[in-house]
């Protein structure tokens, strides 16, 4: 009986090591997929914030470059009251 165990033990160890390696690969792949999804979510949120900031910069550029009369009209129209044309 001991000779059977002595012969089978190395084979069992090789099978166990193969199983451990395979499980490690599976786990690594799972972690890679989940981190990719998380990274995509973060990147999407960052892109949305960049889009908002780009729009705000465009508005600020318009405010800086427009003349005072048109700026006053836009402010009044945003407040809900129209200024009579000059």
Place of tokens 């006053």: 72
**The length of the chain, given as a count of residues:** 86
Alpha helices (runs of H) in the chain, residue ranges in sequence order? 2-65, 68-79
Q: Is the pTM of this model over 0.85?
A: no
Does residue 33 register a pLDDT over 70?
yes
**How much of the chain, in percent, has pLDDT values that exceed 70?**
85
For the stretch 6-23, pLDDT in tens is 667 777 888 888 888 899
Asked if 47 and 58 touch (Cβ cutoff 8 Å), the reply is no
- In angstroms, rounded to a whole number, what is the distance separating the alpha carbons of residues 32 and 36? 6
């Amino acid at each position: 009986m001991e000779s059977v165990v002595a012969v089978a033990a190395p084979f069992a160890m090789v099978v166990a090591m193969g199983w451990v390696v395979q499980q490690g690969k599976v786990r690594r792949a799972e972690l890679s997929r989940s981190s990719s999804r998380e990274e995509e979510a973060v990147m999407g949120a960052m892109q949305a914030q960049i889009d908002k900031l780009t729009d705000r910069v465009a508005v600020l550029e318009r405010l800086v470059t427009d003349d005072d009369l048109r700026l006053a009209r836009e402010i009044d129209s945003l407040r809900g009251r129209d200024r009579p044309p000059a």
